[in-house]
């Protein structure tokens, strides 16, 4: 008779062995989670704290319905299982007033509470609404002017301009603790989203438009900001550092920026806005005072009409076909056509030619907005090498649509 094998001959099943080691296998994952900071649930700014409270309160209100429903699902499944012969069996039952009241009244009350909470929170936490408090129990002071920061979403970096101090930074922003901040936000090319979880909620940045965000930081520290809207290949590296500093620390930070010796003018900005990934922190000690309006008006390039000027012309009825000079430079192929010959200050549309026109029909053309001088529209014959077309090769002017160039303008090198 064969006896039972001793312990030395036993073979451990690999699955059973892995199950015994499960606590040790999960330990690295648990330890890695300990390094995570739930910044959304533990923010450092009052606006983000109020948003956190709104999120938690809404979740608890919904759990008042979700938890009883989940419990009842398990209870009903156990109580009326097939093997329970003691459960009441009523196949003809179809209505219960008490049950209907419980099913509909409780969710209705929760929806009403959520609606009231959301309506109040939407208005109190409106990003365009100036702050009326610094923190719970402490209101704002009329003697303290909010710190204005102009934000530009570039490809793929962030530009911050401080008009009060005349400085600018790239991928780094700072603010004093307990001082209201007013962000003016726009974009250079595509829509983006500005988000500092520790400070406030996200808000979109769009080219040619300005959005605003009011916030305050209540605890010193270094916090991360990033783009919350996909914007191309370098999106994942579009991150920056936000520093909450006390007033002396903020003044030292401004002094460091003023020592950089760099000037942010239009030419420097045009070079900066070109796409680049993982751009290091940059500081500028001087900023062109007219740069922000030009960025917002999408007219940083020399000779380019700003959106505000174009809208003023549109309000007067527009310029018809002769507005081609004003609209073509606004196309978003910035990096492919800059500097555009159509954006030159000495190039003007004199007529829109047909394929068989030679450009002579230019007499009597007047600018209805009064912005272009009449002498540029004198009747004369344009040489074919002085005409430029919309994307066509510079062959004979008789065989292509052409945009006439004013006398004295330099001949373009390409169409």
pLDDT score of 7: 47
pLDDT score of 91: 81
Give CA–CA dist 181/372, Å, rounded: 42
pLDDT score of 367: 39
User: Which 8-state DSSP code applies to residue 101?
Assistant: H
Alpha-helical runs (H) found in 244-387: 247-258, 266-272, 291-296, 307-315, 324-327, 334-337
Which of 2-11, 74-83, 230-239, 280-289 tops mean pLDDT? 280-289
- Residues 269, 274, 276, CA angle at the centre, nearest 5°? 120
Q: At what angle do helices 46-79 and 97-124 cross, to 10 degrees?
A: 170
CA distances from 320 to 231, 303, 325, 355, 369 (A): 35, 20, 11, 20, 11
Least confident of 9-13, 97-101, 210-214: 9-13
Which of 144-148, 314-318, 329-333 tops mean pLDDT? 144-148
CA distances from 173 to 170, 184, 252 (A): 8, 13, 13
208-218: pLDDT as tens digits: 999 999 999 99
Give CA–CA dist 233/155, Å, rounded: 9
pLDDT score of 408: 43
pLDDT score of 415: 35
Least confident of 81-90, 203-212, 321-330, 372-381: 372-381
- Choose among 114, 216, 123: nearest CA to 175: 216
User: Which 8-state DSSP code applies to residue 222?
Assistant: E
Sequence-distant (6+) residues with CB within 8 A of 167 are: 161, 254, 257, 258, 283, 284, 285, 286, 287
pLDDT score of 343: 44
Q: What percent of the chain lies above the pLDDT cut of 70?
A: 68
CA distances from 46 to 59, 243, 358 (A): 20, 16, 67
Give CA–CA dist 51/40, Å, rounded: 9
From the centroid of its chain, how far is CA 55?
22
pLDDT band at 275 (very low <50, low <70, confident <90, very high): very high
Q: What is the mean pLDDT of residues 293-320?
A: 83
- Choose among 127, 224, 143, 144: nearest CA to 178: 144
From the centroid of its chain, how far is CA 48?
17
- The H or E element that residue 203 is part of is strand 203-205
pLDDT score of 313: 77
pLDDT band at 89 (very low <50, low <70, confident <90, very high): confident
CATH of domain 135-296: 2.60.40.420
- Residues 377, 382, 388, CA angle at the centre, nearest 5°? 95
Could you tell me the residue ranges of all domains in the chain? 46-79+97-124, 135-296, 307-399
pLDDT band at 99 (very low <50, low <70, confident <90, very high): confident
Q: What is the mean pLDDT of residues 397-402?
A: 38
For the residues of 132-156, what is the DSSP string, one character each? SEEETTEE--TTSPPEEEEEEEETT
Q: What is the mean pLDDT of residues 165-178?
A: 96
- Choose among 127, 139, 186: nearest CA to 160: 186
pLDDT band at 283 (very low <50, low <70, confident <90, very high): very high
Q: What is the mean pLDDT of residues 268-276?
A: 93
pLDDT score of 352: 47
pLDDT band at 48 (very low <50, low <70, confident <90, very high): very high
Plot region of 231 (φ>0 → left; ψ -120 to 50 → alpha; else → beta)? alpha
């Amino acid at each position: 008779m064969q006896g039972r094998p001793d312990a030395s001959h036993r073979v451990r099943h690999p699955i059973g062995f892995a199950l015994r080691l499960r606590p040790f296998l999960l330990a690295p994952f648990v330890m890695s989670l300990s390094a995570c900071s739930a910044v959304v649930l533990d923010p450092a700014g009052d606006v983000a704290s109020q948003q956190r409270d709104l999120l938690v309160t809404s979740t608890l209100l919904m759990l008042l319905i979700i938890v009883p429903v989940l419990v009842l699902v398990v209870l009903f499944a156990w109580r009326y299982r097939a093997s329970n012969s003691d459960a009441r069996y009523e196949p003809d039952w179809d209505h219960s007033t008490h049950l209907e009241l419980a099913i509909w009244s409780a969710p209705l009350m929760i929806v009403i509470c959520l609606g009231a909470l959301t309506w109040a929170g939407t208005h109190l936490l409106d990003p365009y609404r100036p702050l009326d408090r610094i923190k719970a129990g402490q209101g704002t002071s009329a003697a303290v002017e909010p710190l204005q920061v102009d934000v530009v979403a570039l490809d793929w970096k962030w530009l911050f301009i401080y008009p009060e101090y005349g400085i600018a930074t790239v991928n780094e922003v700072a603010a004093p603790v307990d001082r209201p901040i007013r962000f003016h936000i726009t974009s250079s090319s595509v829509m983006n989203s500005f988000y500092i979880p520790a400070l406030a909620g996200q808000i979109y940045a769009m080219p040619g438009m300005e959005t605003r965000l009011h916030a305050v930081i209540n605890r010193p520290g270094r916090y991360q900001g990033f783009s919350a809207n996909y914007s191309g290949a370098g999106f994942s590296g579009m991150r920056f550092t936000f520093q909450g500093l006390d007033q002396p620390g903020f003044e030292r930070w401004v002094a460091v920026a003023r020592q950089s010796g760099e000037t942010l003018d239009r030419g420097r900005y045009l070079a900066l806005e070109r796409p680049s990934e993982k751009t290091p922190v940059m500081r500028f000690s001087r900023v062109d005072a007219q740069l922000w309006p030009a960025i917002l008006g999408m007219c940083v390039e020399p000779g380019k009409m700003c959106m505000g000027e174009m809208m003023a012309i549109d309000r007067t009825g527009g310029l018809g076909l002769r507005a081609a000079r004003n609209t073509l430079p606004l196309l978003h192929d910035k990096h492919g056509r800059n500097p555009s010959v159509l954006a030159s200050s000495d190039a003007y549309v004199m007529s829109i030619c047909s394929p068989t026109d030679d450009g002579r029909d230019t007499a009597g053309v007047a600018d209805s907005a009064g912005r272009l001088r009449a002498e540029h529209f004198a009747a004369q014959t344009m040489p074919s090498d002085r005409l430029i077309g919309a994307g066509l090769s510079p062959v004979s002017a008789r065989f292509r649509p052409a945009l006439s160039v004013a006398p004295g303008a330099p001949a373009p090198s390409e169409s």
